[in-house]
Amino acid sequence: MNDWQDRLAEAMQARGLSGGELARRSGFTSQYINSLRSKGRGARLPLDTARRLAHALAVSVEWLSHGNGPRERLSDVYPVFAEGIQDAAAERYPSRAEAIALLVTTMEPKIITALRAALPDDPEVDPNRDFWIARARELVRDLRRIRQDPELAPAAARAPESGWQKSPVPDSEKQNERPSRASNERKKR
Q: What pTM, to 2 d.p., does this model score? A: 0.40
Within 10 angstroms of residue 149's Cβ, the number of other Cβ atoms is 9
pLDDT one-digit tens code per residue, 32-74: 888 888 776 666 788 888 888 888 888 888 888 888 776 765 5
The structural architecture, per CATH, of the domain 4-77 is: Orthogonal Bundle (1.10)
Q: Where are the chain's structural domains? A: 4-77, 86-148
Q: What pLDDT is recorded for position 138?
A: 92
Q: What is the mean pLDDT of the chain?
A: 74
Residue pair 56/48 in contact by the 8 Å Cβ criterion: no
Q: What pLDDT is recorded for position 83?
A: 44
Tell me the backbone φ, ψ of residue 33, rounded to 5 degrees.
Answer: -60, -45
